[in-house]
Amino acid sequence: MVMTFWWVTALLLIAALVVWGITFWHRRALRRAPVLVANSQYMDRIPSFVRAQRLARAVRVAQVGVAVLGVLAASVLSGRIASERIETPEFASRDIVLCLDVSGSMYEYDTEILETFAQLVDTFEGERVALSIFNSTSRTVFPLTNDYDLIRRELESGAEAIDFDEFGYRLGTRDYPQEKVRQYVDFVEGTRGIPDEASVVPDGLASCAQVFDQAEEDRSRSIIFATDNEVNGTPIFTLQEAADRASSREIDLYTFYPGAYECGPTCAEELREVTEGTGGKMYESSDPEAIPSIIQQIQKSQAQVMGATPTVIRTDHPGPAFVLTFLSLVGILVLGWRAR
């Protein structure tokens, strides 16, 4: 708590002390020259008069107490008691596209990434989010939106749908309910448009870069790209070309790489080189909990780019002082009437 205009409070208190000093001096002068009334000594023996004198003194003391309280409350009210907090402005011009490789080798990680991301939705304030998935072809699950109920619902539904061992089902080692199979098929629908091809990573990244709209507006744009980079097909773009297309649109690239089953270090090296070559950052981890770190990095870096500076927010708290001032005025009026 701080007092905004402390000097106003100080001046009022000084003025009150001056008035009290003048009044006190005046009362002393009256006592030195009292008014004498003849034949009035017997009144001190009248019980009713004694009670009246006691009541009058009590009322005067109460008046002084209430007046002092009122002056103090009014002085504090005039000084504006306020609280201060430092706040960094939130921006509603941040776009994030979650770009997932939904080939068979990524199912386990995709499920956990979607679940983790769904939990982070509550921390967003103004960000628009989109989800795009790809295998041999791409599908936009939902476009950029700040409808967080829809985002959370779609992410949770997608996590449940893709939590499915496709190979175990195909080999007949598991007996999945038909409803579960249908949920999975509906989710990955549109990502297997090219027969005998899978995980066409460069084309998937290029498609995710096309999800961003409002190209003419000054918005921060980021792609969270989750893939093992094991390409099984003939892509239209190279990975470098796809990344360059994103970079040319001022899209920041954050790559989540959980490791690869077949291509070994080659996949990781290519992905890191391309990601960092465009100014992005690669997270080489099989732990989906790395996603919150990616989100924090996006929010931190984008806030810096957009000129976010901490500001001091001051909030006035006049309530208690105002109530005391009002009650003091009422008390003075009531006591003045009673003193008459």
Same domain, 144 and 291: yes
User: 59-74 burial string, b = 16+ CB within 10 Å, else e?
Assistant: beebbeebbebbbbbb
CATH number of 246's domain? 3.40.50.410
Higher pLDDT, 299 or 82: 82
Q: Do 155 and 284 reside in the same domain of the chain?
A: yes
Buried b (16+ CB within 10 A) or exposed e, 224-255: bbbbbbbbebebebebeebbbbbbeeebbbbb
Shared domain for 105 and 27, answered yes or no, is no
The model's pTM is 0.63
* pLDDT tens per residue, range 255-281: 999 887 777 778 889 999 999 998 988
Instruction: Give how many domains the chain has, as a whole number.
Output: 2
In-domain check, residue 312: no
Same domain, 222 and 326: no
Question: Where does the chain have alpha helices with state H?
Answer: 6-32, 47-79, 107-120, 148-162, 166-170, 178-188, 201-209, 239-248, 265-277, 290-305, 319-339
Residues 139 and 270 in one domain: yes
pLDDT at 171: 42
Mean pLDDT of 305-328: 77
Same domain? For 122 and 264 the reply is: yes
| Confidence band for 99, pLDDT divided at 50, 70 and 90 | very high
Residues 81 and 99 in one domain: no
Q: What is the pLDDT of residues 122-155, one digit of tens each?
A: 888 778 999 999 999 999 999 999 999 999 999 9
Looking at the structure, tell me whether residues 151 and 271 fall in a common domain: yes
Q: Are residues 284 and 331 in the same domain?
A: no
Residues 230 and 294 in one domain: yes
Regarding whether 100 and 27 lie in a shared domain, the answer is no
- The pLDDT of 17-25, averaged and rounded, is 79
- 36 within domain boundaries: no
In the DSSP assignment, the letter for residue 106 is G
The boundaries of the domain holding residue 60 are: 2-31+42-85+318-339
- On whether both 117 and 215 belong to a single domain, the answer is yes
Mean pLDDT of the chain: 82
75 vs 240, more confident:
240
